[in-house]
A = this chain, B = another copy of it.
Amino acid sequence: MSTPWSQRYAQRTKTIKSSAIRELLKFTQRPEVISFGGGLPAPELFPIQRVEEACHNVLEKNGPAALQYSTTEGHPPLREMIASNLRRYGIVASADNVLITAGSQQALDLIAKLLINRGDRILVESPTYLGALQAFNVYGAEYECVPIDHDGLRTELLESALRTGPKFMYILPNFQNPSGVTLSRDRREELVRLAEKYGIPIVEDDPYGQLRFEGEHLPPLVVLDREHNRRDNGYTLGNVIYLSTLSKTLAPGLRLGWIVAPEEVISKLVQLKQGADLHTSTFTQMVAYEVARDGFLEQHVKKIRKVYRERRDVMIAALEEFFPRGVEWTRPSGGLFLWITMPEGTDCGRLLRAALKENVAFVPGDCFFATGDEGCRHMRLNFSNAEPAQIREGIRRLSVAVSQQIEELRPEAVMA
Interface on A for B, CB 8 Å cutoff? Answer: 1-2, 4-10, 13-14, 16-19, 22, 25-26, 38-41, 43-44, 46, 48, 51-52, 55-56, 59-60, 63-72, 101-103, 105-106, 108-109, 113-115, 117, 131, 134-135, 137-138, 196, 199-201, 229-233, 235, 237-239, 247, 251-255, 261-262, 264-265, 268, 271-272, 274-284
Indicate if the CB atoms of A69 and B26 lie closer than 8 Å.
no
Given A6-B201, A131-B275, A278-B103, does the pair A13, B115 have CB atoms closer than 8 Å? yes
Number of identical monomers bound together in the oligomeric complex = 2
Instruction: Give CA–CA (A253, B138) in the complex, Å.
Output: 28
B residues within 8 A CB of A253? 65-70, 281-283
Indicate if the CB atoms of B275 and A138 lie closer than 8 Å.
yes
Shortest distance from the beta carbon of A239 to any chain B beta carbon, whole Å: 6
Indicate if the CB atoms of A278 and B255 lie closer than 8 Å.
yes
Interface centre among A138, A229, A283 (most CB of B within 10 A): A283
Which residue of B17, B239, B268 is within 8 Å of A13 (Cβ)? B268
Instruction: Give CA–CA (A145, B295) in the complex, Å.
Output: 54
Given A265-B9, A272-B16, A278-B131, does the pair A51, B69 have CB atoms closer than 8 Å? no
A-B contact pairs, 29 of them (CB 8 A): A1-B231, A1-B232, A2-B199, A4-B231, A4-B238, A7-B264, A13-B268, A16-B272, A25-B71, A40-B68, A40-B69, A43-B65, A44-B64, A46-B63, A48-B64, A52-B55, A69-B252, A70-B253, A102-B102, A102-B280, A103-B278, A105-B276, A105-B277, A106-B277, A109-B277, A253-B281, A254-B283, A281-B284, A283-B284
Indicate if the CB atoms of B43 and A68 lie closer than 8 Å.
yes
Which residue of B51, B239, B251, B284 is within 8 Å of A4 (Cβ)? B239
Which residue of B10, B55, B278 is within 8 Å of A105 (Cβ)? B278
B residues within 8 A CB of A63? 46, 48, 51-52
